[in-house]
Each structure stands twice: as C-alpha cells, then as structure tokens.
Amino acid sequence: MSDTYGTYDPADRPGRKAATPQAQPTLTAEDGTELPAFDERSAEAFTGLLYLGSLTESFSWLGHDFVIRTLGVDEQLAVAQVTKQYEGTGGGEQLAYATAVVAMAIVTVDGEELPTPIGEDAKLAEWAHKRFGYVKSNWFQYTISEVFQRYLKLEDTAAQTVAAMGKAFGPTVSTPG
C-alpha cells in the first residue's frame, strides 16, 4: 500500500495522467501513528488549499491492482447528482452511494482508466454518470464494497493528516491589509 498526493487541479480531472510524488510520513497522529505529509505546495497560502486532503492509494485485491484517490468537492457533488434517483429506496440508496463514490474515486484498475466521455469539454456530470453506469453494470457488489472501504480509510487518513498539520503549524496570525 502506498499513499501519494492526488491532484485537485481542475484542469487535471481524475483518469488523466498526473505526476504524483511519493508522500513522506512526517506528521504524527495523537495515537502515535505516522501520517503522510502533503506536498510542499500545501503550505503555500492559496495554492495549498488545492492540495489539502488530496491523497491516493495503490492496492491489490483478488489479483487486480487498484489506484484510488480522495474526492474534491466537485466529485462529491457529482456523486449526489448521480445517486439522486435512488433516494428513499432503502438499501438501494446506500449501494448507489457506495457505487458512485467508487466510480469517482477510481484512478486506474490494472493500469487502465475507467470509460470517460470523449472530448475536453465533457462535463463532470456526464463523466460521473458514465463511470457510475460502468461500475454498476460491470462490477460485483463485493468489489465495490472492498474499494469503498479502502476509500473510507483513505479519507480518514486525509482527515487525520490535515488535523495533525493544523497542530504542527499552529494558529497563524492574520494581518489586515
């Protein structure tokens, strides 16, 4: 398993090749667990906001290699759009949510990207629906559940890391003007 930086650059949508340098564990959680440090760019005033919370993980499961990443706000909102038709269906709503999150979080499976709409101007909603449909139609629930659990752990790691960064850097003084 390896944690690396993801990207939140709006021009670099998931599924496109992006440089992801290896994270160096330098932060410590309250329980003593080492947490991955974020890209040095995260310390810069404005640009840093683009990288906080952005992590990826590589793992193998049942003979397949997966790369997943944490989601940005646009992707999280796309999950809500994709799953809207399943609201109020009980277990269907939960399964749709997990499936949509997995579809959005997948970077590659066995080195291959999931289907995406053609063209640079493809809207995120189109992209999300296409990926959701692909995962829903082609993956079994066991695979979706495994990838979703890995995603939740990655999100938890990102949240712990951001909290540790806040403690490590301490409060900053804001100067007017």
Q: Packing angle between helix 124-138 and helix 73-83, nearest 10 degrees?
A: 60
pTM over 0.85: no
Position 35 scores a pLDDT of 67
Q: For residue 159, give the amino acid letter.
A: A
Position 69 scores a pLDDT of 92
How far is residue 79's CA from residue 63's CA, in Å, rounded to a whole number? Answer: 28
CB 15 within 8 A of CB 62: no
Segment holding 171, helix H or strand E: none
Position 127 scores a pLDDT of 87
143-174 tens-digit pLDDT: 999 999 999 999 988 888 777 766 655 555 55
Which residue ranges make up each domain of the chain?
2-169
56-72 tens-digit pLDDT: 899 999 999 999 999 98
Q: For residue 65, give the amino acid letter.
A: D
Q: For residue 146, give the amino acid letter.
A: E
| Helix, strand, or coil (residue 60) | strand
Positions in the chain short of pLDDT 70: 1-28, 35-53, 117-122, 165-177
Position 79 scores a pLDDT of 95
The dihedral built from the CA positions of residue 153, 41, 8 and 22, taken in this order, carries a sign that is negative
Position 42 scores a pLDDT of 52
